[in-house]
Structure 1
Amino acid sequence: MIQVKVFDEDHEQVLEKEVNRFLKKVDEDDLIDIKYQVECFVDENDDDYYRYTAMIIYRA
């Protein structure tokens, strides 16, 4: 069965740590793909905020 795991973090380093922790549990042959996205939001004070997301597609 194909499944996905989605990660959503405020900091890139936290996302990296969480994704790597999850990947330790997935056999390399079961890994299908990893999708990565960065979003930037600007508030009314012109402050930038970033959101880092990753979706891992794998066989379970």
Structure 2
Amino acid sequence: MLQVKLFDCEHEKDLEEEINQFIGGLEQKQVVDIKYNIAALREGTDEQIYCFSAMVMYIK
């Protein structure tokens, strides 16, 4: 059965670590695809917030 796992982090290294930890528990043939996205938001006048997200599609 096809499943998805969503990840959302403020730092790209955190996202990388979370995904690597998750897929480390899977066999390589179980991972179907990984979709990656970055969003940048301006908060107030001088602060920019980044959101790094990914969706891992895998077979359970």
After superposition, where does 1:11-30 map in structure 2 within 5 Å?
11-30=11-30
Give the SS at the match of 1:37.
Answer: strand
Question: 1:51 maps to which residue?
Answer: 51
- After superposition, give the CA deviation of every residue in 1:36-59 in whole Å (9 maximum; x if it has no partner): 000000012231110000100000
Unmatched runs of 5 consecutive residues or more in structure 2: none
Q: Report runs of 4+ in structure 1 exceeding 3 Å deviation.
A: none
Unpaired segments of 5 or more residues in structure 1?
A: none
Match of 1:2 in 2: 2
| SS of alignment partner, residue 26 of structure 1 | coil
Q: What is the root-mean-square deviation of aligned Cα atoms in Å?
A: 0.7
SS in 1 for 2:5: strand
Cα deviation for residue 30 of structure 1 reads: 1.0
Identical columns (%)? 37
Hey, what's the Cα distance between the residues in 2 that align with 1:49 and 1:4?
26
Matched AA of 1:43? E
- Deviations along 1:2-58, one digit per CA (max 9) or x if unpaired, are 000000001110000000000101110111000000000001223111000010000
TM-score by length of 2: 0.95
